[in-house]
Amino acid sequence: MDVNHYLELVRKNQPLVHHITNWVTIYDCAQVVKSFGASPVMAHAAEESADMALISSSLVLNIGTLTPELIESMNSAVLCANKRGIPVLLDVCGAGATGFRDRMCFKLIDETRIDIIKGNASEVARIAGADVRTKGVDSGDVSGDLVKIATGLAVERDCTVIITGKDDIITDGKKCITVSNGHELMSHVVGTGCMAASVAGTFAAVDPGNIVEASAAGLCCLGIAAELAVSLGNGPGSFKGFLFDAIYSLDRAHVDKMKRTGECAVTIL
Amino acid sequence: MDVNHYLELVRKNQPLVHHITNWVTIYDCAQVVKSFGASPVMAHAAEESADMALISSSLVLNIGTLTPELIESMNSAVLCANKRGIPVLLDVCGAGATGFRDRMCFKLIDETRIDIIKGNASEVARIAGADVRTKGVDSGDVSGDLVKIATGLAVERDCTVIITGKDDIITDGKKCITVSNGHELMSHVVGTGCMAASVAGTFAAVDPGNIVEASAAGLCCLGIAAELAVSLGNGPGSFKGFLFDAIYSLDRAHVDKMKRTGECAVTIL
Amino acid sequence: MDVNHYLELVRKNQPLVHHITNWVTIYDCAQVVKSFGASPVMAHAAEESADMALISSSLVLNIGTLTPELIESMNSAVLCANKRGIPVLLDVCGAGATGFRDRMCFKLIDETRIDIIKGNASEVARIAGADVRTKGVDSGDVSGDLVKIATGLAVERDCTVIITGKDDIITDGKKCITVSNGHELMSHVVGTGCMAASVAGTFAAVDPGNIVEASAAGLCCLGIAAELAVSLGNGPGSFKGFLFDAIYSLDRAHVDKMKRTGECAVTIL
């Protein structure tokens, strides 16, 4: 996987990435996309979400602060995105915490085409059918092999599945890439999971035919930038500013030197 | 009051703190809770707010950007929280600025059990029945003894009252603690009041039987971290990052050396 | 134009600036106003937006994350503001991206009195009737003389028009001021356009009889602070914290030394 190739493609193509997302990390989702040189837009009214999808290169959905109105708006944006063939990513943020979130996720996945399902371990396990509990939006304990869970869901739903964590897992059921960049401090910063979704959606926009590699490249860049940011800062507050700085000036040399990616065997159950 | 005891309890128990809050400072409320090692969750849909309260250890309400829909959602979350006996804090943000805010606060306080009422001087004075004007969400002038106002409201409503300001006042009408940590710069940073509410709610979660001491300990930690942050930064912008850093690495030595708390006599009218 | 005069007036009068704005940059809009020493308030419920306008010194509207409910709320706030004669600024954020945004802007401009229309080049060109496309909320290409476009719209709508960009253009159709302060990095930071609107609205509040000069002075101060912030930081992340610091401590000497403003001839078509 040529991470630098994808980084340069994002900077050159500057894709417009449409978000219907949550109110907690909405700024960070926008800024992380912009720091990579792409154009974020956040438009959640049902009256315009499809029109915005019409001029965008990918669509990122996040159910962090979900309401029924947002689901309606997501639905019409996805239908437009599906027609145009642009990648749609769903961050199943908080799945496993309440029944409402689970139902709304299943509704979207059942009724429209979601190209990428992304979450932390317990969120994705819940969508894969496991009886797990998510602690709000923080991952709960998941027993079982995460690669198997991701692969199984990818095959079942014919999509790419991303589990973020210490090692990120990205698979479409045929190929499976792991990304080990990043830092433990990220789990103390609100929004790192949401930003990972925005980054995967941004990179998928520039190579919709190879979503696994493109989104893995994006997560690798984010993880490397996070490592650089941790080395400059002194905790979860100063980290965020340095993260955007590091993304903005990320270069080939850093990527080549620091990237820690791998492939792992896909086991279909 | 053993501030370090409470700080360690928060870090060990990592309570899930459910928020129904405003859109301006929602990120900061989440990050301040996370910086203390606890888990924030923000879920405002009426369809799930009670379910989220069901798995949480405390509930923080903030009317900064209130709508009638949020009040409905707050209502069902509080009813669930009341049944479970977890602490409910209401930040009466902007009370005294418009009639709508005043009415909605009274509605919540009259119809449900609010364990902690928190605001700045003019907000709390308004809820206590004074004819004062809040300047948007910034405190207006209040004549009268703030300790008396807080104590009177605490007795009237059988709850804990927190007035934040140069000296924070925390009282349940029987005991009254003052916290003099913090820094003048905080009044130039949007969100410090909202963060104080989240912190009080987080600390109350770990000792619901002693809300006065627990929430006072939280405000003391926040104030100490703010003093450390001011010494590192150069204004209201860099302050915020340093604040989260300082909370994240706050230790026993800093607390012991820097805490400025006191008790004051309670005067019932 | 005496920039320092206006800066001091804002700090002395501390106007309350009411916002009905978007969820992406709502914090930054509040903090930029507060960093200048004024009081921001964000209240979007239709039940109170007019009451908040009743105690405010100016009103800033931003359609970044527009919904029909927000338009209703904006409408009643503007009607109150119009009656009281306080300046109303409309940031036509994303005009030219979807038909919904265009229609809602025209509705507000046609049905109420908007004192200041503000946007980037393609947003303002769209409102002036040009057939341009905005890339989400980032400016698209605009052919034609921006001063002419701004002047034409100002005359047509009898208001002040602000086009932000490398050189900001501020005109009421009679007088036209340009502000060349600022830095290219600002285009990589989400929210700089929205903050410019909040700053123009804050400065207009202290001299409603001379909106062109007052808002130009505000944009000049913002641009100077941005230049100072760029010199301290290392990219779009650390920039933001330093920006608020620089605004907070901006002084006469910096303004006198760094301001780059001009007047340009007004050409009426």
pLDDT in tens, C119-143: 999 999 999 999 899 998 888 888 7
For residues B102 and B126, the answer to whether their CB atoms sit within 8 Å is yes
Q: Does B184 touch chain C (CB under 8 A)?
A: no
Separation of alpha carbons C41 and B120, rounded Å: 15
CB-based contact C136 A240, cutoff 8 Å? no
Q: Does C263 touch chain A (CB under 8 A)?
A: no
pLDDT in tens, A37-95: 999 999 999 999 999 999 999 999 999 999 999 999 999 999 999 999 999 999 999 99
> Strand (E) positions, B11-167?
16-20, 39-42, 58-62, 88-91, 116-119, 160-163
For residues C49 and C19, the answer to whether their CB atoms sit within 8 Å is no
Q: Is the pLDDT of residue C185 over 90?
A: yes
Q: What is residue B130's DSSP assignment?
A: -
> Which residues in chain C touch residue B68, judged by CB atoms under 8 angstroms apart?
45, 47
Q: How far is CA A155 from the centre of its chain?
A: 18
Percent pLDDT > 70 in chain A is 99
Q: Does B234 touch chain C (CB under 8 A)?
A: yes
pLDDT in tens, C15-33: 999 999 999 999 999 999 9
Question: For position C267, what pLDDT does the model report?
Answer: 63
Instruction: Quote the pTM value.
Output: 0.97
> Which residues in chain C touch residue A31, judged by CB atoms under 8 angstroms apart?
189-190, 236-237
Q: Does B64 touch chain A (CB under 8 A)?
A: no
Q: Does A266 touch chain B (CB under 8 A)?
A: no
User: What residues have CB less than 8 Å from A64, skipping those under 6 apart?
Assistant: A21, A22, A23, A24, A25, A91, A93, A94, A137, A194, B42
Question: For position A142, what pLDDT does the model report?
Answer: 86
Strands B16-20 and C176-179: unpaired
> Which residues in chain C touch residue A40, judged by CB atoms under 8 angstroms apart?
136, 190
For residues C72 and C47, the answer to whether their CB atoms sit within 8 Å is no
Question: For position C266, what pLDDT does the model report?
Answer: 84
pLDDT, averaged across chain C? 96
Q: Does C19 touch chain B (CB under 8 A)?
A: no
Interface probe for B, chosen from C44, C238, C248 (most Cβ of B below 10 Å), is C248
For residues B183 and B230, the answer to whether their CB atoms sit within 8 Å is yes
User: What residues have CB less than 8 Å from A221, skipping those under 6 apart?
Assistant: A3, A6, A7, A36, A199, A203, A247, A250, A255
Closest C-chain CA to A245: C235
Q: Is the pLDDT of residue A269 over 90?
A: no
Q: How far is CA C163 from the centre of its chain?
A: 9
Mean pLDDT of C221-245: 97
> Residues in chain B with pLDDT < 50?
none
Q: Is the pLDDT of residue A235 over 90?
A: yes
Q: Does C174 touch chain A (CB under 8 A)?
A: no
Question: For position C90, what pLDDT does the model report?
Answer: 98
Q: Closest to B48 (Cβ–Cβ): which among A100, A234, A237?
A: A100
Q: Is the pLDDT of residue A267 over 80?
A: no
Shortest distance between the Cα of B46 and any Cα of chain A, in A, equals 8
Question: For position B141, what pLDDT does the model report?
Answer: 85
CB-based contact C97 A52, cutoff 8 Å? yes
CB-based contact A100 B51, cutoff 8 Å? yes
Return the residue matching tokens 């300082």.
B246
pLDDT band at C243 (very low <50, low <70, confident <90, very high): very high
Q: How many residues does chain B have?
A: 269
H/E element holding B73? helix B68-84
Q: What is residue B135's DSSP assignment?
A: B
For residues B194 and B245, the answer to whether their CB atoms sit within 8 Å is no
pLDDT in tens, C190-207: 999 999 999 999 999 999
CB-based contact A234 B243, cutoff 8 Å? no
> Strand (E) positions, chain C?
16-20, 39-42, 58-62, 88-91, 116-119, 160-163, 168-171, 176-179, 261-263
Q: How many residues does chain A have?
A: 269
> Which residues in chain C touch residue B191, judged by CB atoms under 8 angstroms apart?
27
Closest A-chain CA to C137: A41
> Which residues in chain C touch residue B66, judged by CB atoms under 8 angstroms apart?
43, 45, 48
Question: For position C22, what pLDDT does the model report?
Answer: 97
Q: To the nearest 5 percent, what fractions of chain C are helix, strand and coil?
A: 50, 15, 35
Mean pLDDT of A174-197: 97
| HSE-up of residue C141 (Cα within 13 Å, Cβ side) | 1
Question: For position B144, what pLDDT does the model report?
Answer: 82
pLDDT band at A268 (very low <50, low <70, confident <90, very high): low
Shortest distance between the Cα of A115 and any Cα of chain B, in A, equals 26
Q: Closest to C27 (Cβ–Cβ): which among B25, B100, B101?
A: B25
Six token digits for residue C159: 């208001």
Closest C-chain CA to A233: C238
Q: Does B209 touch chain C (CB under 8 A)?
A: no
Q: Closest to B26 (Cβ–Cβ): which among A24, A66, A234?
A: A24
Question: For position C38, what pLDDT does the model report?
Answer: 98
Question: For position A69, what pLDDT does the model report?
Answer: 94
pLDDT in tens, A201-219: 999 999 999 999 999 999 9
Question: For position B269, what pLDDT does the model report?
Answer: 53
Closest B-chain CA to C249: B235
For residues B208 and B86, the answer to whether their CB atoms sit within 8 Å is yes
Separation of alpha carbons C23 and C140, rounded Å: 23
Separation of alpha carbons B31 and B10, rounded Å: 15
> Which residues in chain B touch residue C44, judged by CB atoms under 8 angstroms apart?
65, 67
CB-based contact B238 C243, cutoff 8 Å? no
Separation of alpha carbons C18 and C61, rounded Å: 9
Q: Does C32 touch chain B (CB under 8 A)?
A: no
Q: Does A87 touch chain C (CB under 8 A)?
A: no
pLDDT in tens, A146-185: 999 999 999 999 999 999 999 999 999 999 999 999 999 9
pLDDT band at C269 (very low <50, low <70, confident <90, very high): low
Q: Does A97 touch chain B (CB under 8 A)?
A: yes
Question: For position C167, what pLDDT does the model report?
Answer: 96
Strands A176-179 and A168-171: antiparallel
Closest CA to C24 of A28, A16, A34, A198: A28
> Which residues in chain C touch residue B240, judged by CB atoms under 8 angstroms apart?
241
CB-based contact C100 A23, cutoff 8 Å? no
Which chains are within 8 Å of A by 3+ CB pairs? Answer: B, C
Q: Is the pLDDT of residue C112 over 70?
A: yes
Question: For position C265, what pLDDT does the model report?
Answer: 84
